[in-house]
A = this chain, B = another copy of it.
Amino acid sequence: MRPPTLLDLAKELNLSTSTISRALTRPGVVRPATRERILAAIEKIGFSPNGVARSLRKRETKTIGIIVPDITNWFFGVIVRAISGAVGPHAYMMVVFDANEDPEAEAKALQSLRERQVSGIIRCPVGGENKSWEAAIASGTPVIELDRCSGLRNVDTVLIDDDQAGRIAAECLIALGHRRIGTIAGPQHLSNARGRLRGFLKALSKASITLAPELIEYGDFRESSGYIGAERLMSLRARPTAIFIANSEMTGGAIAAIRELKIRIPKDLSLIGFDDARWARYLDPPLTTISHPTPELGRCAAELLLDRLTKVKSHRKSRVIKFEPELIVRGSTAPLRITKQSRR
């Protein structure tokens, strides 16, 4: 019942645990014949080393923690997969926490991760205080931030250029002739949501368009808030002719609301979504959307972490890597037709 240990093996073979251990970890250093014998016995007995004991002794768990706000969101699914793919070959295993966009849950996750002595953490911050993160970093656990940044010092960060994303969305709509433009922004305590809105507004104001406050809806990055936001925007007396939505979940919700209201895209309303989730192309018309190399983001974060993990504790300066978003123009955007604009 209890799995065999090195000691069991040692007795069986009349060897010391040291030799067996070395045979497994530094093959060159034991005599080939001995090694053969050991391997055979392992095969026969079905021994597999106890990683917990190893971790304790080596002070290194070969485990990385990942905290995402919502694993059912396609974006984070892709991120997790990319990270998994990048660290797997280096024999790291991945502990995943779904913080559910809740700072308290994130704090608990951090605590668990620290107790479990993970080698490093990749985090998509959901907010909350920085104190315990500072402690974690101070105690030597490298932390990478992804998609959002919390203002923490000494973390590498992988971001999308959110200002840029907001800007190109706005510019596209402006170029199509839209003037009454709305947006469903994300929660403003998150850096990415702020950036997307900032870039968006800046581009509008550059085109001398000022947004009435009611044309900005603030969601929470969840589907339902997109639904509600769209409902609100669409029930405005001066309804926007185009909207930009700051993430894919809210985009989905908005689309559901818009269909229920029998508003036609892009005839009655142009729409730019975010993240280019797989389903963006399934829609009819397919969705015009801000896109970014999602798997690259994950891989990049993983590589930054691995770098910190494998390099000698060089107190490297922390890095920020920004990926450029791009606009994929599909069918949900169209030029404004004057007749429409004045219809109601």
CB-nearest residue of chain B to A49: B115
CA A80 to CA B52, docked complex, whole Å: 24
Interface string of A64-107 (1 = CB under 8 A from B): 00000011111011101100110000000111111010000000
With A77-B72, A96-B94 as given contacts, are A50 and B279 in contact (CB-CB < 8 Å)? no
CA A209 to CA B66, docked complex, whole Å: 51
Copy tally for this chain in the complex stands at 2
**B73 lies within 8 A of A77 (CB):** yes
**A282 lies within 8 A of B281 (CB):** no
Cross-chain contact of A252 among B73, B97, B282 (Cβ < 8 A): B282
CA A113 to CA B97, docked complex, whole Å: 17
A316 at the A/B interface (Cβ < 8 Å)?
Answer: no
Q: Which chain B residues border A1 with CB–CB below 8 Å?
A: 139-140
CA A286 to CA B80, docked complex, whole Å: 29
Interface string of A264-300 (1 = CB under 8 A from B): 0000000000000111011110100000000000000
Total contacting residues, chain A, CB less than 8 A: 54
A215-234 interface (Cβ within 8 A of B) = 223
**A223 lies within 8 A of B278 (CB):** yes
Distance in Å from the Cβ of A40 to the closest Cβ of chain B? 17
CA A307 to CA B114, docked complex, whole Å: 27
A46 at the A/B interface (Cβ < 8 Å)?
Answer: yes
Q: Which chain B residues border A97 with CB–CB below 8 Å?
A: 84, 93-94
CA A80 to CA B73, docked complex, whole Å: 12
Q: Which chain B residues border A70 with CB–CB below 8 Å?
A: 81
CA A202 to CA B55, docked complex, whole Å: 54
Q: Which chain B residues border A63 with CB–CB below 8 Å?
A: 95, 116
CA A51 to CA B135, docked complex, whole Å: 17
CB-nearest residue of chain B to A62: B116
**Can you name 8 A-B residue pairings with CB atoms under 8 Å?**
A52-B56, A56-B56, A71-B84, A84-B96, A84-B97, A96-B96, A252-B278, A256-B282
Known contacts A48-B111, A94-B95, A282-B282; 15 additional CB pairs below 8 A are A1-B140, A3-B139, A50-B117, A51-B116, A52-B52, A52-B55, A52-B117, A72-B74, A76-B77, A85-B98, A95-B95, A252-B282, A256-B282, A283-B283, A284-B284
